[in-house]
Chain A
Amino acid sequence: GQNIDQPTEMTATEGAIVQINCTYQTSGFNGLFWYQQHAGEAPTFLSYNVLDGLEEKGRFSSFLSRSKGYSYLLLKELQMKDSASYLCAFRSTGGFKTIFGAGTRLFVKA
């Protein structure tokens, strides 16, 4: 079957670095996405990985290991505005549906 798992909540301090992990299981994999969702708002796209390795985009980086079914989102120099939910999602082959995790709520404290 298809399954995706990420921690429910995390707390970090302003200015610090935080890593949000995601594990997934699927028989057909066609890329992994990270989205940010502030409370009461729409999810917005952060990053996409289809090959193993690290993709860096400013303060945010995303890593993928396809053999381990594992990804993480790394947020550096945390700011209060980074308090949000972070959704991990993979796209499956054969239909190109996207399966979302339940999201990780990140609280950034001063």
Chain B
Amino acid sequence: DADVTQTPRNRITKTGKRIMLECSQTKGHDRMYWYRQDPGLGLRLIYYSFDVKDINKGEISDGYSVSRQAQAKFSLSLESAIPNQTALYFCATSDRGGNQPQHFGDGTRLSIL
């Protein structure tokens, strides 16, 4: 079983719809992250959370919200989806410590028509 699980893996929806992407992990890590990946732009941080009571905006948080329901669960919402939010979304976790790498889920490919 994957250590970091994202659902759904693929989603096609229409402009204006509310969408939730979910992430759960079995690694026991405190830190969780949401990124989007666009061709030529690399991974950009949307939100991150260092524990259940800690939520922080990343570089591109506008149009997104998150919820850290438990240590193992971190969900990303698009309240009213727009076409330029079409992208590949990754959830990641890491252990405490600046030298700890991030562990990524398999990604959610989201298309907004």
Interface residues of A, Cβ cutoff 8 Å to B:
8, 30-31, 33, 35, 40-45, 48, 50, 87, 89, 91, 93, 95-98, 100-103
Q: Tell me which residues across on chain B come within 8 A of A44, comparing CB atoms.
A: 104
Q: Tell me which residues across on chain B come within 8 A of A42, comparing CB atoms.
A: 90, 104-107
B side interface size, CB within 8 A: 20
Give Cα distance in the complex from A33 to B92, angstroms: 15
Give Cα distance in the complex from A49 to B46, angstroms: 25
Interface residues of B, Cβ cutoff 8 Å to A:
35, 40-45, 48, 56, 58, 90, 98-99, 101-107
- Decide yes or no: A101 and B42 within 8 Å by CB, A31-B98, A31-B99, A45-B102 being known contacts: yes
- Decide yes or no: A48 and B48 within 8 Å by CB, A42-B107, A87-B43 being known contacts: no
Q: Tell me which residues across on chain A come within 8 A of B41, comparing CB atoms.
A: 102
